Structure 1
Amino acid sequence: MKSTLKKLLPFAVVGVVSGATAVGTLQYFGHTSNNADQSYFTSSSNASFVGMNTAMTGDDFVKAAKTTVPAVVTIKNYQNRASSRASEQDIFDFFFGDPQGGRGQQRQKQQPDNIPSGMGSGVIISPDGYIISNNHVVAGANKLEVVLSNKKSYIATLVGTDPNTDISLLKIEEKGLPYLNFANSDNIEVGQWVLAVGNPLGLNSTVTAGIISAKGRGIGILSSQGKASNPIESFIQTDAAINPGNSGGALVNSNGDLIGINSAIQSTTGYYQGYGFAVPSNLARKIVEDIKNFGLVQRGFLGVSSIDLSDEKQIAAYNKEFKTDIKGGSGVYIRGFSDNSGAQDAGMKTGDVITKIDSYAVTDFADLSAAIGSKRPGDKVQVTYSRNGKEITSLVTLKDQKGGTSTRTKADLSVTEKIGSNFENLSERFKTDYGLNSGVVARNVIDGGEMSKIGIFDNYIVIEVNGKPVNSEKDVEKILDKYQGNVQVKFVDEYGRIYTKGFKMP
Structure 2
Amino acid sequence: MNKVLKKSAAVLGLVAVSIAASAATVHVMTRNGGSSSSYTAQSGLESVTSANEYGFQNAAYAIGSRQIGNAPDLTPAAESSVKAVVHIKVKKTQQVQSQQMIDPFEFFFGGDPRGNSRRSEPVVGYGSGVIISNDGYIMTNNHVVEGGDELSVTLNDNRTFKAKLIGSDPSSDIALIKVEAKDLPTIPFGNSENLRLGEWVLAVGNPFNLTSTVTAGIVSAKSRAAATGDQLGVGAFIQTDAAVNPGNSGGALVNAAGELVGINTMIYSQTGNYAGYSFAVPINIAAKVVSDIKKYGTVQRGMLGVAGADVTSELVQKEGLKVNEGFYVADFAEISAALAAGIEKGDVITAIDGHRITSFAQLQEQLSRFRPGDAVQVTVNRKGAEKTYKVTLRNQEGGSKLLKQSPNGANNRLGATLKELGANELRAYGLSYGLVVQSLQSNSALRKAGVREGFVLLTANNVPLRSQSDLNQVVSALDKAGSQSRSRRSALQLRGFYPETGEVVSFVVDL
TM-score by length of 2: 0.70
The answer for the alignment partner of 1:331 in structure 2 is 326
Q: Give the C-alpha shift of residue 214 in structure 1.
A: 1.3
* Corresponding residue to 1:189 among 189, 196, 200: 196
Kindly indicate whether the alpha-carbon contact (under 8 Å) linking 2:17 and 2:371 is maintained by their aligned counterparts in 1. no
Question: Which amino acid counterpart does residue 350 of structure 1 have in structure 2?
Answer: K
Structure 2 residue 230 is the aligned partner of structure 1 residue 225 = yes
In structure 2, the CA distance between the partners of 1:48 and 1:66, relative to structure 1 (3 Å rule), is closer
Sequence identity (%): 39
The answer for the alignment partner of 1:119 in structure 2 is 126
Q: Give the C-alpha shift of residue 23 in structure 1.
A: 3.1
The answer for the alignment partner of 2:75 in structure 1 is 62
In structure 2, the CA distance between the partners of 1:245 and 1:403, relative to structure 1 (3 Å rule), is same
Kindly indicate whether the alpha-carbon contact (under 8 Å) linking 2:21 and 2:172 is maintained by their aligned counterparts in 1. yes
Question: Which amino acid counterpart does residue 18 of structure 2 have in structure 1?
Answer: A
Q: Give the C-alpha shift of residue 462 in structure 1.
A: 9.3
* Corresponding residue to 1:177 among 164, 180, 184: 184
Secondary structure of 1:411's counterpart equals: coil
Q: Give the C-alpha shift of residue 151 in structure 1.
A: 2.3
The answer for the alignment partner of 1:21 in structure 2 is 19
* Corresponding residue to 2:383 among 364, 376, 388: 388
Structure 2 residue 161 is the aligned partner of structure 1 residue 139 = no
Q: Which runs of no fewer than 5 residues in structure 2 stay unpaired?
A: 1-10, 24-48, 100-116, 422-431, 464-470, 484-490
Larger-gyration structure (1/2): 2
In structure 2, the CA distance between the partners of 1:414 and 1:499, relative to structure 1 (3 Å rule), is closer
Kindly indicate whether the alpha-carbon contact (under 8 Å) linking 1:41 and 1:289 is maintained by their aligned counterparts in 2. no
The answer for the alignment partner of 2:397 in structure 1 is 402
* Corresponding residue to 1:254 among 253, 256, 262: 256
Secondary structure of 1:339's counterpart equals: coil
Deviation string 1:182-240 (CA, Å, 9 cap, x unpaired) is 0111111111111110001121111001111111111142xx224x4xx1221111111
In structure 2, the CA distance between the partners of 1:374 and 1:157, relative to structure 1 (3 Å rule), is same
Q: Give the C-alpha shift of residue 297 in structure 1.
A: 0.2
The answer for the alignment partner of 2:114 in structure 1 is none
What is the CA–CA distance in structure 1 between the aligned matches of 2:151 and 2:212, rounded to whole Å?
19
Alignment of 1:278-293 (within 5 A): 278-293=280-295
What is the CA–CA distance in structure 2 between the aligned matches of 1:372 and 1:446, rounded to whole Å?
30
Kindly indicate whether the alpha-carbon contact (under 8 Å) linking 1:52 and 1:187 is maintained by their aligned counterparts in 2. no
Kindly indicate whether the alpha-carbon contact (under 8 Å) linking 2:475 and 2:492 is maintained by their aligned counterparts in 1. no
The answer to which of 367-376 and 324-333 deviates more is 324-333
In structure 2, the CA distance between the partners of 1:443 and 1:258, relative to structure 1 (3 Å rule), is same
Q: Give the C-alpha shift of residue 324 in structure 1.
A: 6.2
Secondary structure of 2:96's counterpart equals: coil
Q: Give the C-alpha shift of residue 410 in structure 1.
A: 1.1
Q: Give the C-alpha shift of residue 81 in structure 1.
A: 2.7
What is the CA–CA distance in structure 1 between the aligned matches of 2:357 and 2:234, rounded to whole Å?
14
Q: Give the C-alpha shift of residue 478 in structure 1.
A: 5.7
Q: Give the C-alpha shift of residue 413 in structure 1.
A: 7.2
Alignment of 1:263-412 (within 5 A): 263-310=265-312, 329-411=324-406
Q: Which runs of no fewer than 5 residues in structure 1 stay unpaired?
A: 1-12, 26-36, 87-106, 425-440, 464-469
In structure 2, the CA distance between the partners of 1:459 and 1:335, relative to structure 1 (3 Å rule), is same
In structure 2, the CA distance between the partners of 1:326 and 1:462, relative to structure 1 (3 Å rule), is closer
Q: Give the C-alpha shift of residue 173 in structure 1.
A: 1.1
Question: Which amino acid counterpart does residue 364 of structure 2 have in structure 1?
Answer: S
In structure 2, the CA distance between the partners of 1:256 and 1:213, relative to structure 1 (3 Å rule), is same
* Corresponding residue to 2:435 among 440, 444, 447: 444
Kindly indicate whether the alpha-carbon contact (under 8 Å) linking 1:310 and 1:363 is maintained by their aligned counterparts in 2. no
The answer for the alignment partner of 2:45 in structure 1 is none
What is the CA–CA distance in structure 2 between the aligned matches of 1:488 and 1:336, rounded to whole Å?
33
What is the CA–CA distance in structure 1 between the aligned matches of 2:176 and 2:245, rounded to whole Å?
22
The CA RMSD measured in Å over matched residues stands at 4.3
In structure 2, the CA distance between the partners of 1:38 and 1:238, relative to structure 1 (3 Å rule), is same
Q: Give the C-alpha shift of residue 339 in structure 1.
A: 2.1
In structure 2, the CA distance between the partners of 1:15 and 1:442, relative to structure 1 (3 Å rule), is closer
Question: Which amino acid counterpart does residue 42 of structure 1 have in structure 2?
Answer: Y
The answer for the alignment partner of 2:171 in structure 1 is 164
In structure 2, the CA distance between the partners of 1:499 and 1:122, relative to structure 1 (3 Å rule), is farther
Question: Which amino acid counterpart does residue 164 of structure 1 have in structure 2?
Answer: S
The answer for the alignment partner of 2:51 in structure 1 is 39
Deviation string 1:369-414 (CA, Å, 9 cap, x unpaired) is 0010111001111111100111111111100122211112113875
Question: Which amino acid counterpart does residue 141 of structure 1 have in structure 2?
Answer: G
What is the CA–CA distance in structure 2 between the aligned matches of 1:338 and 1:488, rounded to whole Å?
28
TM-score by length of 1: 0.71
In structure 2, the CA distance between the partners of 1:306 and 1:499, relative to structure 1 (3 Å rule), is closer
What is the CA–CA distance in structure 1 between the aligned matches of 2:287 and 2:204, rounded to whole Å?
18
Deviation string 1:229-274 (CA, Å, 9 cap, x unpaired) is xx12211111111111111100111222101101111122221122
In structure 2, the CA distance between the partners of 1:82 and 1:340, relative to structure 1 (3 Å rule), is closer
The answer to which of 202-211 and 57-66 deviates more is 57-66
The answer for the alignment partner of 2:95 in structure 1 is 82
In structure 2, the CA distance between the partners of 1:261 and 1:310, relative to structure 1 (3 Å rule), is farther
